[in-house]
Structure 1
Amino acid sequence: MHFMTVSIFPSLFEGFWNYGILRRAIESGILHTTAIDLRRFATDKHMTTDDRPYGGGPGMVMKPGPLVDAIRWAKSISERSRCILMSPQGRVFTQPMARELSAESSLILVCGRYEGIDERVVHAVIDDEISIGDYILTGGEIPAMVVMESVVRLLPGALGSEYSAASDSFENHLLEHAQYTRPAIFENEQVPDILLSGHHQKISHWQLESSMIRTFLKRPDLLAERRFSAEEIDILKSWRKQLDSFIDRSDILGAGSLSGQKS
Protein backbone atom coordinates (compact mmCIF):
# COMPACT_ATOMS: atom_id res chain seq x y z
CA MET A 1 0.00 0.00 0.00
CA HIS A 2 1.07 3.57 -0.70
CA PHE A 3 0.09 6.40 1.66
CA MET A 4 0.45 9.95 0.38
CA THR A 5 -0.30 12.91 2.63
CA VAL A 6 -0.93 16.50 1.54
CA SER A 7 -0.08 19.00 4.27
CA ILE A 8 1.62 22.32 4.97
CA PHE A 9 3.52 20.45 7.70
CA PRO A 10 4.90 17.34 5.93
CA SER A 11 7.67 16.86 8.51
CA LEU A 12 5.04 15.81 11.06
CA PHE A 13 4.61 12.55 9.15
CA GLU A 14 8.29 11.81 8.74
CA GLY A 15 8.62 11.32 12.50
CA PHE A 16 5.37 9.36 12.72
CA TRP A 17 6.47 6.89 10.05
CA ASN A 18 9.76 6.22 11.83
CA TYR A 19 8.35 4.20 14.75
CA GLY A 20 6.52 1.00 15.59
CA ILE A 21 4.30 -0.92 13.23
CA LEU A 22 4.52 1.65 10.44
CA ARG A 23 8.31 1.62 10.43
CA ARG A 24 8.38 -2.17 10.29
CA ALA A 25 5.82 -2.18 7.46
CA ILE A 26 7.94 0.32 5.50
CA GLU A 27 11.16 -1.63 6.08
CA SER A 28 9.52 -4.87 4.96
CA GLY A 29 8.13 -3.27 1.80
CA ILE A 30 4.49 -3.67 2.79
CA LEU A 31 4.01 0.09 3.03
CA HIS A 32 5.27 3.03 0.96
CA THR A 33 4.84 6.64 2.09
CA THR A 34 5.12 10.09 0.54
CA ALA A 35 4.69 13.37 2.45
CA ILE A 36 3.68 16.08 0.00
CA ASP A 37 4.47 19.67 0.97
CA LEU A 38 1.48 21.74 -0.12
CA ARG A 39 3.57 24.93 -0.22
CA ARG A 40 5.53 23.52 -3.17
CA PHE A 41 2.41 24.03 -5.27
CA ALA A 42 1.85 27.67 -4.31
CA THR A 43 2.41 30.11 -7.17
CA ASP A 44 3.54 33.28 -5.36
CA LYS A 45 6.90 34.10 -3.78
CA HIS A 46 5.45 33.86 -0.27
CA MET A 47 4.19 30.28 -0.94
CA THR A 48 0.67 31.26 0.15
CA THR A 49 -1.81 28.41 0.64
CA ASP A 50 -4.68 30.27 2.33
CA ASP A 51 -6.77 33.43 1.88
CA ARG A 52 -9.70 35.30 3.42
CA PRO A 53 -13.16 33.72 2.93
CA TYR A 54 -15.64 35.23 0.50
CA GLY A 55 -18.67 36.54 2.38
CA GLY A 56 -16.61 37.47 5.41
CA GLY A 57 -16.16 35.62 8.66
CA PRO A 58 -13.29 34.70 10.95
CA GLY A 59 -10.14 32.83 9.98
CA MET A 60 -8.71 31.81 6.65
CA VAL A 61 -9.63 29.23 4.00
CA MET A 62 -7.18 27.02 2.11
CA LYS A 63 -6.86 28.09 -1.53
CA PRO A 64 -8.12 25.71 -4.23
CA GLY A 65 -5.22 26.06 -6.69
CA PRO A 66 -2.36 24.61 -4.63
CA LEU A 67 -4.55 21.83 -3.20
CA VAL A 68 -5.92 20.67 -6.53
CA ASP A 69 -2.45 20.77 -8.12
CA ALA A 70 -0.93 18.80 -5.24
CA ILE A 71 -3.64 16.16 -5.34
CA ARG A 72 -3.46 15.80 -9.12
CA TRP A 73 0.31 15.43 -8.84
CA ALA A 74 -0.22 12.67 -6.27
CA LYS A 75 -2.74 10.96 -8.53
CA SER A 76 -0.24 11.08 -11.39
CA ILE A 77 2.01 8.82 -9.29
CA SER A 78 -0.81 6.35 -8.76
CA GLU A 79 -3.90 6.86 -10.93
CA ARG A 80 -5.96 4.46 -8.82
CA SER A 81 -5.38 6.43 -5.63
CA ARG A 82 -8.43 7.13 -3.48
CA CYS A 83 -8.34 10.73 -2.24
CA ILE A 84 -9.71 11.32 1.26
CA LEU A 85 -10.20 14.66 2.97
CA MET A 86 -9.84 14.59 6.74
CA SER A 87 -12.87 16.65 7.72
CA PRO A 88 -15.29 17.00 10.69
CA GLN A 89 -18.05 16.79 8.07
CA GLY A 90 -17.01 13.34 6.88
CA ARG A 91 -18.16 9.84 7.75
CA VAL A 92 -17.13 8.90 11.28
CA PHE A 93 -14.19 6.50 11.09
CA THR A 94 -14.81 2.94 12.28
CA GLN A 95 -13.04 -0.41 12.23
CA PRO A 96 -15.13 -1.64 9.25
CA MET A 97 -14.05 1.50 7.37
CA ALA A 98 -10.41 0.74 8.21
CA ARG A 99 -10.86 -2.72 6.75
CA GLU A 100 -12.47 -1.22 3.65
CA LEU A 101 -9.54 1.16 3.15
CA SER A 102 -6.99 -1.60 3.69
CA ALA A 103 -8.12 -3.12 0.38
CA GLU A 104 -7.01 0.00 -1.53
CA SER A 105 -3.63 0.06 -3.27
CA SER A 106 -3.04 3.78 -2.65
CA LEU A 107 -4.58 6.47 -0.43
CA ILE A 108 -4.11 10.24 -0.58
CA LEU A 109 -4.94 11.84 2.78
CA VAL A 110 -5.58 15.58 2.53
CA CYS A 111 -4.99 17.54 5.73
CA GLY A 112 -6.93 20.77 5.97
CA ARG A 113 -6.14 23.71 8.25
CA TYR A 114 -7.73 26.96 9.41
CA GLU A 115 -11.50 27.21 8.67
CA GLY A 116 -11.31 24.46 6.07
CA ILE A 117 -10.73 24.17 2.34
CA ASP A 118 -12.37 25.79 -0.67
CA GLU A 119 -15.48 23.73 -1.51
CA ARG A 120 -14.48 23.55 -5.17
CA VAL A 121 -11.58 21.26 -4.18
CA VAL A 122 -14.09 18.75 -2.83
CA HIS A 123 -16.06 18.86 -6.07
CA ALA A 124 -12.96 18.51 -8.25
CA VAL A 125 -10.71 15.89 -6.70
CA ILE A 126 -11.97 14.50 -3.35
CA ASP A 127 -13.37 10.95 -3.37
CA ASP A 128 -14.40 10.70 0.28
CA GLU A 129 -14.41 12.63 3.57
CA ILE A 130 -13.58 11.05 6.93
CA SER A 131 -13.90 12.33 10.50
CA ILE A 132 -12.33 10.65 13.53
CA GLY A 133 -14.98 12.02 15.91
CA ASP A 134 -17.26 14.87 16.82
CA TYR A 135 -14.70 17.35 18.07
CA ILE A 136 -12.48 20.02 16.55
CA LEU A 137 -8.72 19.81 15.98
CA THR A 138 -6.33 22.40 14.56
CA GLY A 139 -5.62 20.42 11.42
CA GLY A 140 -6.06 17.11 9.64
CA GLU A 141 -2.60 15.70 10.32
CA ILE A 142 -3.45 13.84 13.54
CA PRO A 143 -6.67 12.37 12.07
CA ALA A 144 -4.64 11.22 9.06
CA MET A 145 -2.20 9.46 11.40
CA VAL A 146 -5.11 7.74 13.16
CA VAL A 147 -6.44 6.43 9.85
CA MET A 148 -3.00 5.28 8.70
CA GLU A 149 -2.15 3.34 11.84
CA SER A 150 -5.56 1.68 11.93
CA VAL A 151 -5.35 0.65 8.27
CA VAL A 152 -1.72 -0.54 8.36
CA ARG A 153 -2.52 -2.95 11.22
CA LEU A 154 -4.83 -4.78 8.82
CA LEU A 155 -2.32 -5.22 6.00
CA PRO A 156 -1.14 -8.85 5.65
CA GLY A 157 2.23 -9.28 7.32
CA ALA A 158 2.23 -5.89 9.08
CA LEU A 159 1.76 -7.46 12.52
CA GLY A 160 3.75 -10.28 14.06
CA SER A 161 0.61 -12.40 14.23
CA GLU A 162 -2.52 -12.32 12.07
CA TYR A 163 -4.42 -13.22 15.26
CA SER A 164 -3.42 -9.89 16.75
CA ALA A 165 -5.53 -7.88 14.29
CA ALA A 166 -8.41 -10.34 14.30
CA SER A 167 -8.70 -10.23 18.11
CA ASP A 168 -8.52 -6.44 18.48
CA SER A 169 -11.39 -4.47 19.98
CA PHE A 170 -14.23 -3.67 17.55
CA GLU A 171 -13.43 -6.60 15.30
CA ASN A 172 -16.69 -8.58 15.06
CA HIS A 173 -18.45 -6.10 17.38
CA LEU A 174 -16.67 -7.17 20.56
CA LEU A 175 -14.22 -5.35 22.81
CA GLU A 176 -10.98 -7.17 23.57
CA HIS A 177 -10.87 -9.42 26.63
CA ALA A 178 -9.06 -8.40 29.84
CA GLN A 179 -5.27 -8.74 29.63
CA TYR A 180 -2.74 -9.65 32.35
CA THR A 181 1.03 -10.07 32.57
CA ARG A 182 3.68 -10.71 35.26
CA PRO A 183 3.71 -10.52 38.24
CA ALA A 184 0.93 -12.98 39.03
CA ILE A 185 -0.04 -10.91 42.09
CA PHE A 186 -0.01 -7.12 42.04
CA GLU A 187 -1.23 -5.04 45.01
CA ASN A 188 -3.05 -8.07 46.38
CA GLU A 189 -4.92 -8.71 43.13
CA GLN A 190 -4.18 -12.04 41.48
CA VAL A 191 -4.32 -13.01 37.84
CA PRO A 192 -7.36 -15.28 37.21
CA ASP A 193 -6.36 -18.88 37.92
CA ILE A 194 -7.62 -20.09 34.55
CA LEU A 195 -4.94 -18.05 32.75
CA LEU A 196 -2.24 -19.88 34.72
CA SER A 197 -3.71 -23.33 34.08
CA GLY A 198 -2.19 -24.00 30.65
CA HIS A 199 -5.56 -25.38 29.50
CA HIS A 200 -5.88 -23.65 26.13
CA GLN A 201 -9.53 -24.52 25.49
CA LYS A 202 -10.66 -23.23 28.88
CA ILE A 203 -8.50 -20.12 28.49
CA SER A 204 -10.07 -19.42 25.09
CA HIS A 205 -13.56 -19.77 26.60
CA TRP A 206 -12.63 -17.44 29.48
CA GLN A 207 -11.27 -14.85 27.04
CA LEU A 208 -14.47 -14.97 24.98
CA GLU A 209 -16.67 -14.54 28.05
CA SER A 210 -14.43 -11.73 29.33
CA SER A 211 -14.78 -10.02 25.95
CA MET A 212 -18.56 -10.33 26.04
CA ILE A 213 -18.79 -9.04 29.62
CA ARG A 214 -16.63 -6.00 28.85
CA THR A 215 -18.66 -5.25 25.73
CA PHE A 216 -21.96 -5.59 27.60
CA LEU A 217 -20.82 -3.28 30.40
CA LYS A 218 -18.95 -0.67 28.32
CA ARG A 219 -20.39 -0.76 24.78
CA PRO A 220 -23.68 -2.71 24.76
CA ASP A 221 -24.56 -1.04 21.44
CA LEU A 222 -21.95 -3.23 19.73
CA LEU A 223 -23.74 -6.43 20.76
CA ALA A 224 -26.91 -5.31 18.98
CA GLU A 225 -25.04 -5.72 15.66
CA ARG A 226 -23.43 -9.07 16.43
CA ARG A 227 -24.48 -12.50 15.21
CA PHE A 228 -23.71 -14.80 18.14
CA SER A 229 -21.98 -18.14 17.75
CA ALA A 230 -23.25 -21.29 19.46
CA GLU A 231 -20.61 -20.89 22.19
CA GLU A 232 -21.63 -17.28 22.77
CA ILE A 233 -25.32 -18.23 23.00
CA ASP A 234 -24.39 -20.81 25.66
CA ILE A 235 -22.60 -18.05 27.60
CA LEU A 236 -25.67 -15.80 27.35
CA LYS A 237 -27.91 -18.63 28.54
CA SER A 238 -25.64 -19.19 31.56
CA TRP A 239 -25.91 -15.47 32.39
CA ARG A 240 -29.69 -15.67 32.11
CA LYS A 241 -29.75 -18.68 34.42
CA GLN A 242 -27.72 -16.79 37.03
CA LEU A 243 -29.93 -13.70 36.69
CA ASP A 244 -33.07 -15.85 37.08
CA SER A 245 -31.65 -17.27 40.30
CA PHE A 246 -31.04 -13.75 41.62
CA ILE A 247 -34.62 -12.77 40.73
CA ASP A 248 -36.04 -15.91 42.38
CA ARG A 249 -34.00 -15.20 45.50
CA SER A 250 -35.31 -11.63 45.50
CA ASP A 251 -38.88 -12.89 45.35
CA ILE A 252 -38.27 -15.18 48.32
CA LEU A 253 -36.72 -12.40 50.41
CA GLY A 254 -39.36 -9.91 49.35
CA ALA A 255 -38.90 -6.99 47.02
CA GLY A 256 -38.89 -4.50 49.85
CA SER A 257 -35.71 -5.94 51.34
CA LEU A 258 -33.81 -5.19 48.10
CA SER A 259 -35.36 -1.87 47.18
CA GLY A 260 -34.64 -0.17 50.51
CA GLN A 261 -38.30 0.14 51.49
CA LYS A 262 -38.97 0.58 55.19
CA SER A 263 -41.31 -1.80 56.93
Structure 2
Amino acid sequence: MDIKILTIFPEMFTGPLTTSIIKKARDKEILKIKVINFRDYSENKHNTVDDYPFGGGAGMLLKPEPIVNALENNLDLENNNQEIILVTPQGKTFKQEDANLLATKKNLTFICGHYEGFDERIRSYVTKEYSLGDFVMTGGEIPAMAMVDAIARLIPGVIKEEDSFKDDSFFGGLLEYPQYTRPRVFRDIEVPEVLLSGNHEHIRKWRRKESLRRTYKRRPELLMNFQFTKEDKKFLEEIKKEEK
Protein backbone atom coordinates (compact mmCIF):
# COMPACT_ATOMS: atom_id res chain seq x y z
CA MET A 1 0.00 0.00 0.00
CA ASP A 2 1.11 3.53 -0.79
CA ILE A 3 0.17 6.15 1.83
CA LYS A 4 0.74 9.87 1.55
CA ILE A 5 0.20 12.35 4.37
CA LEU A 6 -0.17 16.07 3.71
CA THR A 7 0.74 18.20 6.72
CA ILE A 8 2.58 21.36 7.72
CA PHE A 9 4.18 19.51 10.64
CA PRO A 10 5.97 16.52 9.04
CA GLU A 11 8.30 16.16 12.03
CA MET A 12 5.35 14.92 14.13
CA PHE A 13 5.30 11.67 12.15
CA THR A 14 8.93 10.71 12.68
CA GLY A 15 8.44 8.57 15.79
CA PRO A 16 5.13 6.79 15.03
CA LEU A 17 6.11 5.88 11.47
CA THR A 18 9.71 4.83 12.14
CA THR A 19 9.28 2.34 14.99
CA SER A 20 7.72 -1.04 15.76
CA ILE A 21 5.43 -2.83 13.28
CA ILE A 22 5.05 0.16 10.93
CA LYS A 23 8.82 0.43 10.54
CA LYS A 24 9.14 -3.30 9.78
CA ALA A 25 6.39 -3.06 7.16
CA ARG A 26 8.15 -0.10 5.54
CA ASP A 27 11.50 -1.91 5.60
CA LYS A 28 9.87 -4.86 3.80
CA GLU A 29 8.24 -2.40 1.35
CA ILE A 30 4.81 -3.82 2.17
CA LEU A 31 3.95 -0.29 3.17
CA LYS A 32 5.20 2.90 1.54
CA ILE A 33 4.60 6.15 3.40
CA LYS A 34 5.48 9.61 2.16
CA VAL A 35 4.96 12.63 4.41
CA ILE A 36 4.50 15.80 2.36
CA ASN A 37 4.83 19.31 3.71
CA PHE A 38 2.22 21.17 1.72
CA ARG A 39 3.81 24.45 2.79
CA ASP A 40 6.35 23.67 0.05
CA TYR A 41 3.56 24.09 -2.51
CA SER A 42 2.52 27.57 -1.47
CA GLU A 43 2.38 30.14 -4.26
CA ASN A 44 4.04 33.07 -2.52
CA LYS A 45 7.57 33.76 -1.32
CA HIS A 46 6.60 33.57 2.34
CA ASN A 47 5.21 30.03 1.92
CA THR A 48 1.89 31.10 3.41
CA VAL A 49 -0.66 28.34 3.87
CA ASP A 50 -3.41 30.20 5.74
CA ASP A 51 -5.46 33.38 5.44
CA TYR A 52 -8.39 35.23 7.02
CA PRO A 53 -11.90 33.93 6.21
CA PHE A 54 -14.15 35.96 3.92
CA GLY A 55 -17.04 37.37 5.92
CA GLY A 56 -14.97 37.67 9.07
CA GLY A 57 -14.65 35.36 12.02
CA ALA A 58 -12.03 34.18 14.48
CA GLY A 59 -8.91 32.36 13.41
CA MET A 60 -7.34 31.49 10.09
CA LEU A 61 -8.25 29.04 7.36
CA LEU A 62 -6.01 26.79 5.29
CA LYS A 63 -5.79 28.14 1.75
CA PRO A 64 -6.75 25.86 -1.15
CA GLU A 65 -3.69 26.41 -3.38
CA PRO A 66 -0.95 24.69 -1.29
CA ILE A 67 -3.05 21.59 -0.61
CA VAL A 68 -4.39 21.24 -4.15
CA ASN A 69 -0.94 21.86 -5.64
CA ALA A 70 0.48 19.15 -3.36
CA LEU A 71 -2.24 16.72 -4.45
CA GLU A 72 -1.72 17.42 -8.14
CA ASN A 73 2.06 17.06 -7.88
CA ASN A 74 2.10 13.85 -5.86
CA LEU A 75 -1.02 11.92 -6.89
CA ASP A 76 -2.65 10.55 -9.99
CA LEU A 77 -6.05 12.12 -9.45
CA GLU A 78 -7.53 9.87 -12.14
CA ASN A 79 -6.72 6.74 -10.13
CA ASN A 80 -9.95 5.08 -9.01
CA ASN A 81 -8.29 2.73 -6.52
CA GLN A 82 -7.48 5.40 -3.98
CA GLU A 83 -9.05 7.49 -1.26
CA ILE A 84 -8.22 11.10 -0.47
CA ILE A 85 -9.13 11.53 3.17
CA LEU A 86 -9.73 14.80 4.97
CA VAL A 87 -9.08 14.51 8.70
CA THR A 88 -11.66 16.81 10.28
CA PRO A 89 -14.00 16.92 13.33
CA GLN A 90 -16.86 17.18 10.82
CA GLY A 91 -16.09 13.77 9.35
CA LYS A 92 -17.63 10.37 9.99
CA THR A 93 -16.37 8.73 13.16
CA PHE A 94 -13.61 6.33 12.16
CA LYS A 95 -14.42 2.72 13.10
CA GLN A 96 -12.98 -0.73 12.55
CA GLU A 97 -15.20 -1.28 9.51
CA ASP A 98 -13.63 1.81 7.92
CA ALA A 99 -10.15 0.50 8.61
CA ASN A 100 -11.15 -2.84 7.04
CA LEU A 101 -12.41 -1.10 3.90
CA LEU A 102 -9.47 1.27 3.52
CA ALA A 103 -7.00 -1.60 3.95
CA THR A 104 -8.20 -2.96 0.58
CA LYS A 105 -7.11 0.18 -1.29
CA LYS A 106 -3.79 0.56 -3.11
CA ASN A 107 -3.37 4.26 -2.37
CA LEU A 108 -4.47 6.44 0.55
CA THR A 109 -3.82 10.13 1.08
CA PHE A 110 -4.53 11.94 4.35
CA ILE A 111 -4.94 15.71 4.52
CA CYS A 112 -4.29 17.00 8.03
CA GLY A 113 -6.34 20.06 8.83
CA HIS A 114 -5.11 22.80 11.12
CA TYR A 115 -6.00 26.27 12.43
CA GLU A 116 -9.74 27.03 12.42
CA GLY A 117 -10.49 24.94 9.35
CA PHE A 118 -9.91 25.01 5.62
CA ASP A 119 -11.22 26.59 2.45
CA GLU A 120 -14.36 24.69 1.44
CA ARG A 121 -13.08 24.22 -2.13
CA ILE A 122 -10.53 21.68 -0.89
CA ARG A 123 -13.46 19.30 -0.35
CA SER A 124 -13.97 18.90 -4.10
CA TYR A 125 -10.76 16.79 -4.16
CA VAL A 126 -11.68 14.69 -1.13
CA THR A 127 -13.36 11.26 -1.29
CA LYS A 128 -13.83 10.62 2.45
CA GLU A 129 -13.82 12.59 5.69
CA TYR A 130 -13.03 11.07 9.08
CA SER A 131 -12.86 12.09 12.72
CA LEU A 132 -11.64 10.10 15.72
CA GLY A 133 -14.65 11.15 17.77
CA ASP A 134 -16.73 14.00 19.08
CA PHE A 135 -13.86 16.15 20.28
CA VAL A 136 -11.52 18.68 18.69
CA MET A 137 -7.73 18.41 18.56
CA THR A 138 -5.12 21.00 17.61
CA GLY A 139 -4.69 19.41 14.20
CA GLY A 140 -5.28 16.34 12.08
CA GLU A 141 -1.83 14.85 12.57
CA ILE A 142 -2.50 12.63 15.60
CA PRO A 143 -5.82 11.31 14.20
CA ALA A 144 -4.07 10.56 10.90
CA MET A 145 -1.38 8.59 12.76
CA ALA A 146 -4.05 6.56 14.55
CA MET A 147 -5.90 5.79 11.32
CA VAL A 148 -2.73 4.80 9.47
CA ASP A 149 -1.81 2.43 12.30
CA ALA A 150 -5.29 0.86 12.37
CA ILE A 151 -5.27 0.35 8.60
CA ALA A 152 -1.67 -0.78 8.21
CA ARG A 153 -1.96 -3.71 10.64
CA LEU A 154 -4.69 -5.22 8.42
CA ILE A 155 -2.51 -5.34 5.30
CA PRO A 156 -1.32 -8.90 4.57
CA GLY A 157 2.24 -9.40 5.77
CA VAL A 158 2.32 -6.48 8.20
CA ILE A 159 1.35 -8.65 11.18
CA LYS A 160 2.92 -12.09 11.03
CA GLU A 161 -0.14 -14.00 12.19
CA GLU A 162 -3.34 -12.77 10.56
CA ASP A 163 -5.50 -14.53 13.17
CA SER A 164 -4.00 -12.27 15.84
CA PHE A 165 -6.14 -9.36 14.67
CA LYS A 166 -9.24 -11.36 13.71
CA ASP A 167 -10.00 -11.78 17.42
CA ASP A 168 -9.38 -8.10 18.20
CA SER A 169 -12.12 -5.97 19.72
CA PHE A 170 -14.48 -4.60 17.02
CA PHE A 171 -12.99 -6.71 14.20
CA GLY A 172 -15.95 -9.11 14.24
CA GLY A 173 -18.36 -6.70 15.88
CA LEU A 174 -17.69 -7.73 19.47
CA LEU A 175 -15.23 -6.77 22.18
CA GLU A 176 -12.37 -9.20 22.69
CA TYR A 177 -12.67 -11.97 25.28
CA PRO A 178 -10.49 -11.94 28.46
CA GLN A 179 -6.98 -13.34 28.02
CA TYR A 180 -4.44 -14.73 30.48
CA THR A 181 -0.79 -15.74 30.59
CA ARG A 182 1.58 -17.13 33.24
CA PRO A 183 1.56 -17.40 36.21
CA ARG A 184 -1.47 -19.63 36.60
CA VAL A 185 -2.30 -17.97 39.92
CA PHE A 186 -1.52 -14.30 40.52
CA ARG A 187 -2.40 -12.78 43.91
CA ASP A 188 -5.12 -15.38 44.48
CA ILE A 189 -6.68 -14.84 41.05
CA GLU A 190 -6.62 -18.03 38.97
CA VAL A 191 -6.73 -18.52 35.22
CA PRO A 192 -10.14 -20.00 34.25
CA GLU A 193 -9.91 -23.78 34.30
CA VAL A 194 -11.32 -24.18 30.79
CA LEU A 195 -8.26 -22.46 29.30
CA LEU A 196 -6.04 -25.12 30.85
CA SER A 197 -8.17 -28.03 29.67
CA GLY A 198 -6.65 -28.49 26.23
CA ASN A 199 -10.17 -28.93 24.83
CA HIS A 200 -10.21 -26.54 21.88
CA GLU A 201 -13.97 -26.67 21.36
CA HIS A 202 -14.67 -25.85 25.02
CA ILE A 203 -12.14 -23.01 24.83
CA ARG A 204 -13.74 -21.67 21.65
CA LYS A 205 -17.19 -21.66 23.25
CA TRP A 206 -15.89 -20.02 26.45
CA ARG A 207 -14.14 -17.29 24.47
CA ARG A 208 -17.20 -16.62 22.33
CA LYS A 209 -19.47 -16.41 25.34
CA GLU A 210 -17.09 -14.15 27.26
CA SER A 211 -16.71 -11.91 24.21
CA LEU A 212 -20.50 -11.57 24.12
CA ARG A 213 -20.60 -10.99 27.89
CA ARG A 214 -18.00 -8.23 27.75
CA THR A 215 -19.80 -6.53 24.87
CA TYR A 216 -23.18 -6.86 26.62
CA LYS A 217 -21.83 -5.28 29.81
CA ARG A 218 -19.55 -2.60 28.37
CA ARG A 219 -20.81 -1.71 24.91
CA PRO A 220 -24.38 -3.05 24.56
CA GLU A 221 -25.09 -0.74 21.62
CA LEU A 222 -22.73 -2.83 19.50
CA LEU A 223 -25.20 -5.72 19.75
CA MET A 224 -28.05 -3.77 18.15
CA ASN A 225 -26.92 -4.54 14.60
CA PHE A 226 -24.89 -7.66 15.34
CA GLN A 227 -25.64 -10.79 13.32
CA PHE A 228 -26.19 -13.46 15.98
CA THR A 229 -25.75 -17.15 15.31
CA LYS A 230 -28.02 -19.67 16.99
CA GLU A 231 -25.20 -20.39 19.43
CA ASP A 232 -24.73 -16.67 20.14
CA LYS A 233 -28.41 -16.27 21.02
CA LYS A 234 -28.17 -19.18 23.46
CA PHE A 235 -25.05 -17.71 25.07
CA LEU A 236 -26.63 -14.27 25.38
CA GLU A 237 -29.70 -15.66 27.12
CA GLU A 238 -27.42 -17.44 29.59
CA ILE A 239 -25.42 -14.26 30.14
CA LYS A 240 -28.52 -12.19 30.87
CA LYS A 241 -29.62 -14.68 33.52
CA GLU A 242 -26.14 -14.88 35.03
CA GLU A 243 -25.73 -11.11 35.20
CA LYS A 244 -29.02 -10.44 36.98
- Taking structure 2 as the reference length, the TM-score comes to 0.93
- How many residue pairs match? The answer is 243
Where do residues 52-131 of structure 1 align in structure 2 (5 Å cutoff)? 52-76=52-76, 79-80=79-80, 81-123=82-124, 125-131=125-131
Question: Residue 217 of structure 2 corresponds to which residue in structure 1?
Answer: 217
Question: Residue 4 of structure 1 corresponds to which residue in structure 2?
Answer: 4
Q: Write the letter of the residue equivalent to 2:116.
A: E
Change in Cα spacing, 1:87 to 1:242, as seen in structure 2 (3 Å) is closer
Q: Distance in 2 between matches of 1:165 and 1:217?
A: 22
> Secondary structure of 2:15's match?
helix
Q: Do the aligned partners of 1:14 and 1:35 also contact (CA within 8 Å) in 2?
A: no
The Cα offsets for residues 98-137 of structure 1, whole Å up to 9 and x where unpaired, read as 11111111011000100011111112x1111111100000
Where do residues 106-255 of structure 1 align in structure 2 (5 Å cutoff)? 106-123=107-124, 125-239=125-239
* RMSD of aligned alpha carbons: 1.8
Gapped runs of 5+ residues in structure 2?
Answer: none
Q: Distance in 1 between matches of 2:202 and 2:227?
A: 22
- With 219-228 and 106-115 compared, the bigger mean Cα shift is at 219-228
Q: Distance in 2 between matches of 1:187 and 1:78?
A: 61
Gapped runs of 5+ residues in structure 1?
Answer: 247-263
Q: Distance in 2 between matches of 1:237 and 1:139?
A: 45
Q: Write the letter of the residue equivalent to 1:96.
A: E
- Report runs of 4+ in structure 1 exceeding 4 Å deviation: 240-243
Q: Distance in 2 between matches of 1:138 and 1:91?
A: 18
> Secondary structure of 1:175's match?
coil
- With 225-234 and 164-173 compared, the bigger mean Cα shift is at 225-234
- Taking structure 1 as the reference length, the TM-score comes to 0.87
Q: Distance in 2 between matches of 1:71 and 1:180?
A: 47
The higher radius of gyration belongs to: 1
> Secondary structure of 1:225's match?
coil
Structure 1 or 2: more helix by fraction: 1
> Secondary structure of 2:85's match?
strand
Identity of aligned pairs, percent? 40
Q: Do the aligned partners of 1:178 and 1:210 also contact (CA within 8 Å) in 2?
A: yes
Q: Do the aligned partners of 1:194 and 1:203 also contact (CA within 8 Å) in 2?
A: yes
Q: Write the letter of the residue equivalent to 2:118.
A: I
Deviation at 1:239, TM superposition (A): 3.8
